[in-house]
Structure formats: structure tokens, C-alpha cells
Amino acid sequence: MKVVIVYASVHHGNTKKIVDEIAKAKEVELVDATQVKEMDLSGYDLLGFASGIYYGKFHQAVLNFASVNLPQDKKVFLICTYGGKTEFQSMETILEGKHADLVGKFSCKGYDTYGPFKLIGGIAKGHPTEKDLEAAVNFYQGLMKKA
Ligand SMILES: Cc1cc2nc3c(=O)[nH]c(=O)nc-3n(C[C@H](O)[C@H](O)[C@H](O)COP(=O)(O)O)c2cc1C
């Protein structure tokens, strides 16, 4: 089973903590979409897209990466970290256009000091927690069992 997770984690590395934890536990390739723009994904059995939520969307680098590189009819899972509210629609719209099979979604809070939140020391402090990381690995293991 060949798996890759394409991610963007630009605020506090919250999303990176999640994907690193999964990659520590299981064999997964990680690709930073802010660095890599084009890639042949045809050889992967399962693809993950992971991002913080910025202005109500996945990071533009992840959205662009998926639009450009995701082949039709792939199995896909999504991961996001957020300060206030989870969001998957920005990715789901792209996945629909690619006839992807969305096999799972995971989200958890991520420390957020954007804009006015900085003045109060940020929100979702301490997230992702150890418990969040454990839940992410469990989510991934669940996907592997289904696959
Ligand atoms: C520019 C910016 C915009 C953000 N917009 C949102 C938002 O619309 N909704 C939300 O819930 N969190 C928002 N956040 C908080 C991030 O989604 C949250 O901190 C996330 O865990 C960041 O992930 P990262 O550290 O992997 O980049 C925003 C953060 C930044 C820096």
C-alpha cells in the first residue's frame, strides 16, 4: 500500500505535528505543498491532503496541488487543523471534480494566534495535544484496516 500525504502547515506547524505523528507510526511519504508544485501521483494507492484552515479554506498551495496533480478516481483522505471551525468544503469541491473516493476526514484544533487572537495570547492553546495526536494515528490506522 503506497501512501502519500500532501500538506501545508505555515502558522505554528500544527498540521505538521499531526502528519509527522502518522508518519512516525506508519510508512507514509510526506510532501510539503508549499515547496513541491508538481508530482506524479498515479502510483499511489491512497492520498492524504492535510492543511491548517486559513480564511475558511485549506491552504492555497494544497488546493492548487490537488487541482494540478490529483489523478481521477483516487482514494483520498483529508486532515485539517483549525482555530475556530473545521472546514473541508474547499477540498471536497476539487475532489468531486476528480471523482475521488473520499474515505475519511480528520480534524482537530490547532493553536491560533492570527490577528486579534494574538492580543489574548491565542486560542486553542496547547493543540494539537497528545490526545489529538493519538486520535490522528487511530484515524489513520482505521483507514488502513478499511483499505
Ligand atoms: C492567516 C490565517 C487565517 C486563519 N483562518 C482561520 C479560519 O478561517 N478558521 C479557523 O478556524 N482557523 C483559522 N486560522 C487558524 C489556523 O487554521 C490554525 O491555527 C491551524 O492549526 C494552523 O495550522 P498550521 O500551524 O499547520 O499552519 C487561521 C490562521 C491564520 C494564520
Q: For residue range 100-137, what is the model confidence (pLDDT) as tens digits? A: 999 999 999 999 999 999 999 999 999 999 999 999 99
Q: Answer whether 99's CB lies under 8 Å from 76's CB.
A: no
Whole-number Å distance, alpha carbon 42 to ligand 1 midpoint, is 30
Mutate to test the pocket of ligand 1, among 7, 22, 82 (most ligand atoms within 8 A of CB): 82
**Cell representation of residue 58:** 485549506
Q: Where are the domains of the chain?
A: 3-146
**pTM to 2 decimals?**
0.97
Q: Is 94 exposed, middle or buried (0-12, 13-18, 19+ CB in 10 A)?
A: buried
The dotted CATH code for 3-146 is: 3.40.50.360
Query: Pocket residues for ligand 1 (CB within 6 Å)?
Result: 9-16, 52-56, 81-85, 110-112, 114
Whole-number Å distance, alpha carbon 90 to ligand 1 midpoint, is 14
* In the block, residue with C-alpha cell 484544533: 109
pLDDT in tens, 59-107: 999 999 999 999 999 999 999 999 999 999 999 999 999 999 999 999 9
Q: Where are the beta strands (DSSP E) in 9-100?
A: 29-32, 46-54, 57-58, 75-82
